[in-house]
Amino acid sequence: MIRLFFLSSLGAPRPFILALLLAMLAVVPAGAQQPAPAQSGPPASATGMSAAELNTLADQLENETERRRLIETLRALSAAQRGGGQPLPAQPAPAKAAEPAKAPGPAAAPAEDDPGAAIVDTVVEHVRRAGSGMAALGAVFSDLPALQTWLTQQWENPKRRALWADVLLKLGATLAVAVALQAIAFLLIRRPLAALEVRKSNPLWLASLFLLLRILLAIIPTAAFALAAYGTLWLLAPNNLTRDIAQIIVLAFVATRAVDIGTQMLLAPDAALSRSLRLDGETAAYIHVWLRRLSAVGIFGYAIVRIAQRIRIPADGVDAIATLAGFIFAFLLAVLVLQNRAAVAARIRGSDVPAADTASPRSNAVRLLRHRTGDIWHALALLYIGATFAVWAFDVSGGFALILRGTLATLGVLILVRVILFAIEHGLGGLFAVRPETRHRFPGLEARANRYLPLLLGSLRLLLYVVATFAILQAWGIDTLGWLGSSTGRNLAGRVTTILLVVVVTLVLWEVTGAGIEYYLTRPGRDGQPPMRSGRVRTLLPLLRRFVSIVLGLIAALIVLSELGINIAPLLAGAGVIGLAIGFGAQTLVKDVITGIFILAEETVSVGDIVDLGGNGGVVEDISIRTIRLRDTEGVVHVIPFSEVTRIKNMTRGYAQALFDIGISYREDVDAVIEEIRKLGAEFRGEPEWAARILEDLEMWGVNELADSAVVIRFRIKTQPAQQWSVKREFSKRLKKRFDELGIEMPFPHRTLYFGVDKAGNAPPVRLARAQANVPEAESDPKPVPE
């Protein structure tokens, strides 16, 4: 809720500021308008003017007409000196008081050759001036007997007494009327303002309308204060001194109230429903109090300095007042930093701490940097506040303006970088989104786009950081734009641009090559399905893509090294020497490469084939220019150099045959069994699940062998490549079931024991001994079981 009384609307600093203001108005004005009494000869001799002449000059400065005439006289005197003796207009006798103003000050110290000594002398001089200013200001309050004498003289002088009465009474009346009308305005708007603060509006336009109404109502008391003050000044028609002081006070109050109203509307610490920002009530009130406090000290501190200048306090005294106001402002900022030390440190450190086993070195470095910054941020902030105050207090030429400009520019650049990064991160996601029809037509396009999205985002982020760094350095007085415009800067920028273009063109060419190969391998045919490419095509094209990537990478690397100023001629010569050394020393490597090229050109082996390479069998997973990689049925990976491949057995070329050798008993009818096998083969091929895998009808070869205990029948089934094993397993299972149903015996090995016969052909008898088990007899009278 807005306060009813303006004296309490800005917190504790306001009464102190007003008390200091009134003390200055009560003590200092006359001292700036007339010479100090009870001074003897030295001041008069120093200026060349008597006390009466000084009083006359002071009266002329107070009178508007006389002051304007004096200014015209001084300008005419200056024009006469420039024009070589032009006649001067009539001027009053005290006009010669202008002569002391032309008296030069103390001679400037000669420039030192040592810059360090010059800096020390400057600091010492500013410290001396600040000390003398504080001493001069404190002398007014410490010399109480002289002050009493001076007040007595002011009271006994009717002219001075009338001036003081006019200044104090009219200024007091102006402020009293303004404060009274402001209090009445506060009472009038209190109830409507409270009703708007508790009202919550969901539509944006309605909430904006209520916010505008709240702002207009909050402005009414401040407008009433300003209008009442200016109206009272117009009615009272005070002298220029009273009017200027009143205007400074009114403007300072209006500026302070404007800051207070703005923060009150934005933060709404006492009305959660009207709060625009996502803050809790305690945080909003804390921010509001500190903004109100800092604005009060800054604005009224400046107002006091302006009033001190208006009543013509000596320059050292004005500097001391300004230094004191700046010190209070810097002290409040330091208190604010220390109060929020822990909260800001926790915010800088962050809470997203990754696990130690999953965190990358880059994330660990960033996390360590954030922790170290959180530990020392308050020290850096206090050092910045102290350095800024020192530059401003010691009046380093252009120093405070540079710090202020650099600080505001840094904050603006950081905010702009944050906004641009937010727009880039959300805009690139939509820019790289792949539509469903495009994803269906080019299956790998989305994966390729997602692969380069982080790279593009990182590059744009780096570029933005570089530009922001250059802008911040430029704002702090480092001529980065001038350096970029120099020959060195243009040369470096050109080299960086060339390197970026080379990298971009290389990536584009590599992606175009890869996309073309992938599209050729996966593009759909007339039936909508991708056609079956030959193994040689599916093997050579990836090798071609790898070869293109190596060539493009080497070319790009050579160009980049050349742009970096490295002479690549020795590199090319060294590459030639290395090539000769490889040719002579790495003959096995050359043999691997040449053998691999011939194997690929003849299309002996392709990726996906099931092969047997000299006892190592499995599925071909990858073929490089030097090796072939297999994975067997147990999942073991075999990497075989081409130089060790002497025999290739490819089991997935064109078609395959499932070969069967089935044994039946000697007592079975062979023709009947063969017929049943043919029927089962026809039924098997007629099923849709297996029809696509079987190319021809069962091919019966007939009786292949008369074994010891079985008649072996051989037949085979022609299948698609790599389907013979599944067909053989399924058909064997069905054949076993069919034989079981028909009672066809599939004999297993038998052993016949022959005991021999005598000459009459009678076999000797076989005597068998029956073994009886040792079984203990049961007891006739078992022992009773104890209870």
Residue 602 φ then ψ, to 5°: -80, -5
| Residues 413 and 430 grouped into a single domain | yes
Q: Establish if 782 belongs to a structural domain.
A: no
Residue at a domain's end among 570, 585, 600: 585
* Alpha carbon distance, N-terminus to C-terminus of the chain: 97
| Residues 3 and 65 grouped into a single domain | no
Cα–Cα separations (whole angstroms), residue 256 to 293, 408, 478, 534: 10, 21, 36, 83
Question: Looking at residue 331, what is its pLDDT?
Answer: 92
Q: Establish if 784 belongs to a structural domain.
A: no
Question: Looking at residue 427, what is its pLDDT?
Answer: 74
pLDDT band at 154 (very low <50, low <70, confident <90, very high): low
Q: Establish if 750 belongs to a structural domain.
A: no
| Residues 22 and 156 grouped into a single domain | yes
Q: What share of the chain is helix, strand, coil (3-state, %, to 5)?
A: 65, 5, 25
| Residues 504 and 443 grouped into a single domain | no
Q: Establish if 173 belongs to a structural domain.
A: yes
C-alpha–C-alpha distance, residues 379 and 408, integer Å: 20
Q: Establish if 332 belongs to a structural domain.
A: no
Specify the DSSP class assigned to residue 88.
P
Q: What is the mean pLDDT of residues 58-62?
A: 67
pLDDT band at 65 (very low <50, low <70, confident <90, very high): low
| Residues 581 and 498 grouped into a single domain | yes
Three-state SS string across 372-389, please?
HHHHHHHHHHHHHHHHHH
Question: Looking at residue 205, what is its pLDDT?
Answer: 58
Least confident of 126-140, 289-303, 739-753: 126-140
| Residues 69 and 200 grouped into a single domain | no
Q: What is the mean pLDDT of residues 570-580?
A: 79
C-alpha–C-alpha distance, residues 447 and 445, integer Å: 6
Q: The domain spanning residue 606 has which CATH number?
A: 2.30.30.60
| Residues 13 and 67 grouped into a single domain | no
- The DSSP-derived string for 680-722 is HHHHHHHSHHHHTTB-S--EEEEEEEE-SS-EEEEEEEEESTT
Q: What is the mean pLDDT of residues 518-531?
A: 60
Cα–Cα separations (whole angstroms), residue 7 to 1, 264, 296, 423: 15, 17, 11, 46
| Residues 140 and 188 grouped into a single domain | yes
pLDDT band at 552 (very low <50, low <70, confident <90, very high): confident
Strand partners, 618: 611
Q: What is the mean pLDDT of residues 709-725?
A: 90
pLDDT > 70 in the chain, percent: 64
Is the separation of the CB atoms in 236 and 168 below 8 Å?
A: no
Specify the DSSP class assigned to residue 761.
S
Q: The domain spanning residue 535 has which CATH number?
A: 1.10.287
Least confident of 242-251, 437-446, 509-518, 693-702: 437-446
pLDDT band at 534 (very low <50, low <70, confident <90, very high): low
Q: What is the pTM of this model?
A: 0.47
Specify the DSSP class assigned to residue 642.
G
Per-residue pLDDT for 77 more than 50?
A: yes
Which tens digits make up the pLDDT trace of 181-236? 888 887 887 777 667 665 655 565 565 666 677 777 778 888 888 888 888 878 87
pLDDT band at 11 (very low <50, low <70, confident <90, very high): very low
Q: Establish if 371 belongs to a structural domain.
A: no
Question: Looking at residue 659, what is its pLDDT?
Answer: 92
| Residues 253 and 176 grouped into a single domain | yes
Which tens digits make up the pLDDT trace of 291-339? 888 988 989 888 888 887 877 776 777 777 888 888 899 999 999 999 9
- Where are the alpha helices (H) located in 614-696, listed in sequence order? 670-686, 688-691
Q: Establish if 365 belongs to a structural domain.
A: no
Question: Looking at residue 735, what is its pLDDT?
Answer: 92
- Which of the pair, 36 or 177, is modelled with greater confidence? 177
Which tens digits make up the pLDDT trace of 266-294? 777 766 655 666 777 788 888 888 888 89
Least confident of 528-532, 548-552, 630-634: 528-532
C-alpha–C-alpha distance, residues 657 and 666, integer Å: 28
The answer for 383, left when phi > 0, alpha when psi is -120 to 50, beta otherwise, is alpha
Residue at a domain's end among 568, 585, 602: 585
Q: Tell me how long the chain is.
A: 787
Q: Establish if 39 belongs to a structural domain.
A: no
Greatest mean pLDDT range, 117-131, 584-598, 666-680: 666-680
pLDDT band at 559 (very low <50, low <70, confident <90, very high): confident
C-alpha–C-alpha distance, residues 432 and 457, integer Å: 11
| Residues 252 and 190 grouped into a single domain | yes
Least confident of 8-22, 159-173, 409-423, 731-745: 8-22
Mean pLDDT over the full length of the chain: 73
Q: Name residue 62's amino acid.
A: E
Residue at a domain's end among 422, 451, 479: 479
| Residues 495 and 625 grouped into a single domain | no
Number of domains in the chain: 6
| Residues 552 and 684 grouped into a single domain | no
C-alpha–C-alpha distance, residues 36 and 33, integer Å: 9
Boundaries of domain holding 473: 398-479
Cα–Cα separations (whole angstroms), residue 667 to 243, 559, 702, 749, 765: 139, 85, 17, 15, 30
